[in-house]
Amino acid sequence: MRMRAIFGCSGQALEAAEREFFREVRPWGFILFARNVRDRAQVCALVESLRETVNDALAPVLIDQEGGRVARLKPPTWCERPPAARFGEIFAGNVEAAREAVYLNTRLIAHDLTDLGINVDCLPVLDVPVAGADDIIGDRAFARDSSAVIALGREAIEGLLDGGVLPVMKHIPGHGRALLDSHKALPKVTTDVETLSAVDFVTFRSLNQCPMAMTAHVVYEAVDPHRPATLSPKVVRDVIRGEIGYDGLLMTDDLSMGALEGTLAARAKAALFAGCDIVLHCNGSLDEMREVASELKPIEGMVQRRADHALAHLSQPSEFDPAGAEARLTELLGTIV
C-alpha cells in the first residue's frame, strides 16, 4: 500500500539508504530539484530507479518547471522558458496571442518532461500578486488581474495535459498578497473575505477541475487567524473544498519551509488532519523524511479516489511538432519587446 507523501532525494543517483527507505515507506510520488539534474541520461536513470523502489512504472515524478527563475532543467541541455509575467504582458495587448503562446510554451515544457519520464509539473501559478507583496511570486504570476490569470492558467493546464503531463495549480487559495517569503517566514494576510473571494480565490475556483493543487503556507486571518492554509482544517474545508469547490488531489507545499513551525512529524500530522491528501517534503534529508514518515497514513478511501482520478488524466501526448511550436512561440513572444 502506498503512503500519502511525495519525497525528494539527495543527489543525482539514489543512495542505498534512500532505496531502502523508499521501498519500505512506498511514497505516492517523488520530486526532482536542480541538485538531482546533470544530463538527460542521468535524469532518465534516476526517474527509473525512483519508480523501481515502489514497483510502479507510472509513479508520479514531479518537478517545478515554470520557466523564468523557477526551472530545474536549465540551458544548455534544455531550453530556457520565459516567466509567466511575459505572457501577461502579451495578454494586455493581444489576448489570443497570449493564450496561444502559453499553450505552446507548456506543450514544449511537457515535451521536455515526458522525454525524461517526468509526468507531473508544479504549474500553473494561479496567484494574483498585489503591489507591495514579497517578490517570491512576482513574475512567476501571469498578471495582477484575475481574469488574465484565469485565461492563461487554463491554457497552461491544457498544454500540459495535451503533452502527457499532470498540472498542479498553486498556491491554493492564493499567495499573491503575502508580504513575506514563505520559504523563510510565515506570511499573514489581513484582507477581508469578500476581497479574497473576488480576487484571490476566484482563479482557483474558475479552474477547479485541475487534477492536482498545492497549498499555500499563508495565514488568512479573516478565515483562520491561527493556522496557515496547509495546516488549517477551516481553510481546507470552508475555502478550498467549500467555496473554491476543489475536489481534486490536494498536496501541501514543502513541509520543510520556514513558514511552518514544530517538528516535521507534527507538521505532517497537522497537514493530514487539516484535510490535505498528500504531504510534500523536498530537501532530500533522509532523517527528515523518516520523521515525516512516522506520521504518514496509507492512501485509501477518498484520498485513493482523488489520486486515481488525478492519474486518470495522464495520457499519451497528442500529435505535436516541437520545431514548429518553437518557431511560432518565438514569433508570438516577439509581439511585445
| Whole-angstrom distance, CA of residue 171 vs CA of residue 195 | 17
Task: Please give the full DSSP string across 63-82, using - where no structure is assigned.
Answer: E-EEETTEESS-TTTS----
Cell of 100: 496561444
Q: How far is CA 334 from CA 82, 101, 159, 279, in A?
A: 12, 11, 20, 40
3-state secondary structure of 212: strand
Q: Which of 253, 254, 281, 313 is catalytic?
A: 253
Active site residue 224: no
Q: Which of 181, 183, 238, 247 is catalytic?
A: 183
| Whole-angstrom distance, CA of residue 68 vs CA of residue 138 | 11
Long-range contacts of 64-67 (CB under 8 A, 24+ apart): 64/31, 64/33, 64/121, 64/122, 64/123, 65/109, 65/112, 65/113, 65/121, 65/122, 65/123, 66/122, 66/123, 66/124, 66/125, 66/140, 67/105, 67/109
Active site residue ranges: 183, 253
